[in-house]
Amino acid sequence: MNDREHIAETVDLVTKENTNQVCISQSESDNGDETGEPQRGHWANKVDSFLSLLGYCVGYGNIWRFPYFCMRNGGGPFLVAFLCILVLCGIPTYFLDLVMGQFSGKTSLHAWQICPLLQGIGASALLVLFVINTYYNLIIAWTIFYLGSAFLVPLPWTSCDNSWNTADCINNRTMELVSPFHNGSSLTAYHSTNQSNADELSEYVIERNLTLSKKMVTSEEEFWRYRLLEISSGIEDIGGMPWHLAVCFLGAWLLTFFSLIRGVRSSGKVVYVTALLPYVILTAILIRAALLPGAGDGILYFITPNLHKLVEPQVWLEASLQVFYSLGPGWGPLITLSSYNHFHNNCFRDSILMVFISEGTSIYGGFVVFAVLGYMAHETGMHISDVVTSGPGLVFMTYPEALSHLPLPNVWTVLFFLMMLTVGMDSQLSCVETVISAVMDQFPTLRRRRVLVQGVGCILWYFLGLILCTQGGIYVFVVLDWYIAFGVPMLAFIECVIIGWIYGAERFSRDAELMLGRGIPVLMRIALTFIAPSILLTIAVSTVATYKPPTYGKYKFPYYITIFGFLLGLSTLVPVIVGAVKAIRSSQGKTFLKRVVNASKPSENWKPASRKHARDYTYDELSNYKSFYSRMKLNIFGPGNTEKWI
């Protein structure tokens, strides 16, 4: 070897070493773009990828829905059902999405080239995300407003002396005085033991004409309804637009824009804060709450088993719903986020770790929630089941009330809403990135103008969402949130059918083997082909069978809103139907059945993201496995029963 060749080889080795350290990798593991357009980004390292996935999975539902489901379904039995569904359905479907994205290096819109017949699934998922992106930032806007208000002394939701309060308002102090008499205590006995408090209560009752049968409205609820929302009487009365909501909504979109300004290179660094900070704050609140009177009772209520509930179908159904909606398989972001992985990343390990860490966060958050609720129950004399709520009410009414009782309430309230801000931003960044990345991949020339496209998208979502900032916006929010994800369980079911039966678990296992060095274990194959589809189909059917019209408090929506909601939910399935018709018409074959079969085969663009593996990649027709039994056996055990069980 002469000196020139030696120098060239040395430079080549150094170049290869350096490219492993940058975010936009040019190594063979990338999905090369031979058109000359800029290549897609990659995560700078495994930590960026891991934290981004964690941030997407840990959202508001882990804090405000899981504890409520757990309490309502007997505590311990729900945890048992939850863990079973997590293993049988959560891990397999999560792994499925990660493999599709990492293998193809494509977003959720284009990864479905694996089956052109049902490629519309990607468009359907994007349609759902487009609507969710419009209203999800409203929750972050609410959080920003509460975070800013938490710096005021005293906390504005702790008193009834504000301009927005009504005659029915009752604050924490009066609640503590009234609560003993809700539990049957004697006013005479109370008067004899605490003269001043009894006089204060009597004066309050006289001034407000308050009786025990009268509906009282807490100061926290009035702050939520009349200060933040300035709520109207119903969806028919949209009303004006409170300026503070529009400004906070703008702030939420500015945070989103700047967090994603450099794509995965910037979002991968933002998640170091947004994904990890919630755990620090949760731990701090848990330690403080555990020292409060009644906290132990709340935690015991959370975990005490009620074993007879384990045989109730509702427990298993709601455990399935929690797993599905918290992990988010079938929605698209998991495929998109994993498409930025390097080709040989161990996504099997990531799936198991991520599922248990993210859902372990739900359980951990449950301890925090019920410690605080136990303290509230102790202070008010109410039963824990009477103070627990789900959804925004838990975050924006119950928690502010509980934290106002603590020493240094402003500090704890700021920490709590800072945690809620980071949790919400994680999920929002993943959903927005999914849509933006799909546009980039559909029109590669726009990759050079990513900031412009992202800015246009954020501006569009902001103006579309301004109706949510009106006085009747909360009703629009409820309708969108109630119906938009109506068809997502069915999309996830179709996804499992495609991979398990149409494309085939055996082919899918071979694809995974190119990345991982080993095929998919037998138990995972069984879960992908039988168990997970069954659970997802059950969720889809039960969603329709147990349908109830949306409500907000005592307000019932008019009938035409129900019609609109159903049309909105069903519209998310339209791209699947349109895509199937288009694929059949463009496929070759003398008969309709032959066209369907040909349209079910992967397109020529379905290939590994790695250039090295893409050169030799071929589609196996599996012509030796014609019968259903032989194909089923192949999907589960592989050729010659050679696959490992675990």
- Say what the pLDDT of residue 21 is: 38
12 annotated among ligand-binding-site residues? no
Is 58 annotated for ligand binding? yes
- On whether 233 is known to bind a ligand per the annotation, the reply is no
- HSE-up (13 A, CA, CB side) for residue 634: 22
- In the numeric block, the tokens 């069915």 are attached to 490
In the three-class reduction of DSSP (H, G, I as helix; E, B as strand; rest coil), residue 605 is classed as coil
Q: Which domains does the chain have, with CATH numbers?
A: 48-159+237-637 (1.20.1740.10)
Measured CA to CA, the distance from residue 643 to residue 519 in angstroms comes to 7
| Segment-wise mean pLDDT, segments of 10 residues, the chain, 646 residues | 43 40 37 49 81 86 80 80 91 95 92 93 93 94 96 91 88 56 40 41 41 64 92 92 96 93 68 82 88 88 79 86 87 91 92 90 86 82 72 77 84 91 89 91 87 94 96 94 87 92 91 92 92 92 85 87 90 93 91 92 90 85 72 79 58
Closest CA to 298 of 73, 63, 71, 60: 71
Closest CA to 337 of 271, 416, 424: 271
DSSP string, 532-553: HHHHHHHHHHHHHHT----EET
Separation between Cα atoms, residue 502 and residue 173, nearest integer Å: 64
State the pTM of this model. Answer: 0.83
The DSSP code sequence of 59-79 is SHHHHHTHHHHHHHTTBHHHH
**Residue 217 pairs with which residues in a beta bridge?**
169
Residue 326 labeled ligand binder: yes
User: Tokens standing for 340?
Assistant: 């930025």
Confidence at residue 14, expressed as pLDDT on a 0 to 100 scale: 38
What are the tokens at 604? Answer: 């020529």
pLDDT of residue 40: 62
Q: Among 512, 496, 177, 548, which residue's Cα sits nearest to residue 349?
A: 512
128 annotated to bind ligand = no
Residue 55 annotated as lining a ligand binding site: yes
Q: Please give the pLDDT value at position 530.
A: 93
CA distance 211 to 199: 16
By the 10 Å C-beta count (0-12 exposed, 13-18 middle, 19+ buried), 158 is classed as: buried
Is the distance from CB of 424 to CB of 135 less than 8 angstroms?
no
Query: Can you spell out the DSSP letters for 409-465?
Result: HHHHHHHHHHHHHHHHHHHHHHHHHHHHHHHHHHSGGGGGGHHHHHHHHHHHHHHHH
Name the DSSP letter for residue 263.
T
**Confidence (pLDDT) at 619:** 80
